[in-house]
């Protein structure tokens, strides 16, 4: 591999104190280095203008890399995988590994960590993380002692079983996988089989008969230029001395790195058929693959999924955005059923008020998009998040942004 290892650049070379950079400070070009000497100061521990300029220039190298240069399939395509599918990141992108330490007191530096594959330096979703996301959709009853559960906890588990069955129904609609309705006990047995490697009697299954989860890797960037990384900011404004004044406190911009929207990831598994001996019910490997895809599309992966990051969608065109036949600018009317998860086209009418316009059953509707609303006039693909009284759409979420 001749391309630079982005993980090494992010955690080591970014702070290289030996190499000089040609930067522009106060409108004048000059050579400057980065140094940690500012940490030795007793009072103000902030980098100088020169050091900030060096960090800013070095940060740019992440945004200039194209995914095609790395040929990720050559390194991550697993020969053992028997099941795979592609999902594409949606706006605003994907965060993975933010819990790692990173960053100094410079606005030009990235303040949170990021997960890179050690060998290639590419951002990946580890197989263990994929497995964790999938397991979080299961009720988790097998990990609890039934006698110690309160009435409220048992009721909560009942809702989790219903939620899992809803995911199965959604997978059936999209993939026509024909997964039968599962009882609570059958769902518990399925969870133990997939994640614990246990059969219905609780006995351990041979490693070679278990489901295996491999790393998900970025396969292709559908961005116009093929870029796949970009910076983003969160701007908290917290007054720790006077919390009541927080809304009036100046924001503190925190820069972080993210995978861009419209980057296609390939998820890989080695799945086994699951059968219940008592009634011959179960799931084939292909049915589990469809269920896993539905879970990942619904729940997302990585950090900050509660504010829109780490969401995936399927069915994106393989042609990069901005090439080929232009998108149809006219809205396609939606005449389907009003139910959670259904998608349709809309146009952002008022980004400040987070309102999008759509044609629903022949009527023009203004709908609320609580999170990640693009700028006015942007054509988007949205999905129904919640339904209010009288079967009216309460709010929608962003799936895809047309450009």
- Residue 56: partners with Cβ closer than 8 Å, 6 or more residues away: 23, 108
Decide: pTM greater than 0.85. no
Region label for 50, one of left (φ > 0), alpha (ψ between -120 and 50) or beta (otherwise) = alpha
Helix (H), strand (E) at residue 32: strand 28-32
For 28-36, the CB contacts below 8 A with 24+ separation are 34/58
Closest by CA to 270, choosing from 294, 283, 282, 288, is 288
Predicted confidence band at 320 (pLDDT cuts at 50, 70, 90)?
Answer: very low
Rounded to 10 deg, the angle between the 127-136 and 285-299 helix axes is 80
User: Cα–chain-centroid distance for residue 68?
Assistant: 21
pLDDT band at 328 (very low <50, low <70, confident <90, very high): very low
Other C-beta atoms closer than 10 Å to the C-beta of 87 total 23
pLDDT at 376: 84
Q: Which pLDDT score is estimated for 223? A: 85
Listed residue (295, 304, 249) closest to 97, CA to CA:
304
SS3 for 161? helix
What does the alpha-carbon distance between residue 226 and residue 195 come to, in Å, rounded to a whole number?
36
The model's pLDDT over 16-74, given as tens digits with 9 standing for 90+, comes to: 989 999 998 888 999 998 888 877 776 667 788 888 899 999 999 999 999 999 999 99
Q: Please give the Cα distance from 248 to 245 (Å, whole number).
A: 6
What percentage of the chain carries pLDDT values higher than 90? 50
Residue among 47, 19, 94 nearest 256 (CA): 94
Query: Is 260:221 a contact under the CB 8 Å cutoff?
Result: yes
Partnered with residue 400 across adjacent β-strands are: 381
Per-residue confidence at 324, pLDDT binned at 50, 70, 90? very low
Residue 302 and residue 310 in contact, taking contact as beta carbons nearer than 8 Å:
yes
With beta carbons less than 8 A apart as the criterion, state whether 73 and 120 touch: no
Kindly list the structural domains of the chain, giving each domain's residue range(s) and its CATH number in brackets, ordered by start. Answer: 1-33+47-54 (no CATH), 68-320 (no CATH), 343-401 (2.40.50)
Beta bridge partners of 25: 28
Give tens-digit pLDDT for 203-262.
899 989 999 999 999 999 988 789 999 999 887 777 778 877 777 777 778 889 999 999
Place of tokens 């309160």: 150
Residue 168: what pLDDT?
Answer: 93
Exposed / middle / buried, residue 232 (Cβ in 10 Å: 0-12, 13-18, 19+): middle
pLDDT digits (tens, 9 = 90+) for 89-146: 998 999 998 888 888 877 788 888 899 999 999 999 999 999 999 999 999 888 777 7
Please give the mean pLDDT across all residues of the chain. 87
Q: Which of helix, strand or coil describes residue 213? A: strand
pLDDT of residue 317: 52
| Six-digit token string for 43 | 């009072």
């Amino acid at each position: 591999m001749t391309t630079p290892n982005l993980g090494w650049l992010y955690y080591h070379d970014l702070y290289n104190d030996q190499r000089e950079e040609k930067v522009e400070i106060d409108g004048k070009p000059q050579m400057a280095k980065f140094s940690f000497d500012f940490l030795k100061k007793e009072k103000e521990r902030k980098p100088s203008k020169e050091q900030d300029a060096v960090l800013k220039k070095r940060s740019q190298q992440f945004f200039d890399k194209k995914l095609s240069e790395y040929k990720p399939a050559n390194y991550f395509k697993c020969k053992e995988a028997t099941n795979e599918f592609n999902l594409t990141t949606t706006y605003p992108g994907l965060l993975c590994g933010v819990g790692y330490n990173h960053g100094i007191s410079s606005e030009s530096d990235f303040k949170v960590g990021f997960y890179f594959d050690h060998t290639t330096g590419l951002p990946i979703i580890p197989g263990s993380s994929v497995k964790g996301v999938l397991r979080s959709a299961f009720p988790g009853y097998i990990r609890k002692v039934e006698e110690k559960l309160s009435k409220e906890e048992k009721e909560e588990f009942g809702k989790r079983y219903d939620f899992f069955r809803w995911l199965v129904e959604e997978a059936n609609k999209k993939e026509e996988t024909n997964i039968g309705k599962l009882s609570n006990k059958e769902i518990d047995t399925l969870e133990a089989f997939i994640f614990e490697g246990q059969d219905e009697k609780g006995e351990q299954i041979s490693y070679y008969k278990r489901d295996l989860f491999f790393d998900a890797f970025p396969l292709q960037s559908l961005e116009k230029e093929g870029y796949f990384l970009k910076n983003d900011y969160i701007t908290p404004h917290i007054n720790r001395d006077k919390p009541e004044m927080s809304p009036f406190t100046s924001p503190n911009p925190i820069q972080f790195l993210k995978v861009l929207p419209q980057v296609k990831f390939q998820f890989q598994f080695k799945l086994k058929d699951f059968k219940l001996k008592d009634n011959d019910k179960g799931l084939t490997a292909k049915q589990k693959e469809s269920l896993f895809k539905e879970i990942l599309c619904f729940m997302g992966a990585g950090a900050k999924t509660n504010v829109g990051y780490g969401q995936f969608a399927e069915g994106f065109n393989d042609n990069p955005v901005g090439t080929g036949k232009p998108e149809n600018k006219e809205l396609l009317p939606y005449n389907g059923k009003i139910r959670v998860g259904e998608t349709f086209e809309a146009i952002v009418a008022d980004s400040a008020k987070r309102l999008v316009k759509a044609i629903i059953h022949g009527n023009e509707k203004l709908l609320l998009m609580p999170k990640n609303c693009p700028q006015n006039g942007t054509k988007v693909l949205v999905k129904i998040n919640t339904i209010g009284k009288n079967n009216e759409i309460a709010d929608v979420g962003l799936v895809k942004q047309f450009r």
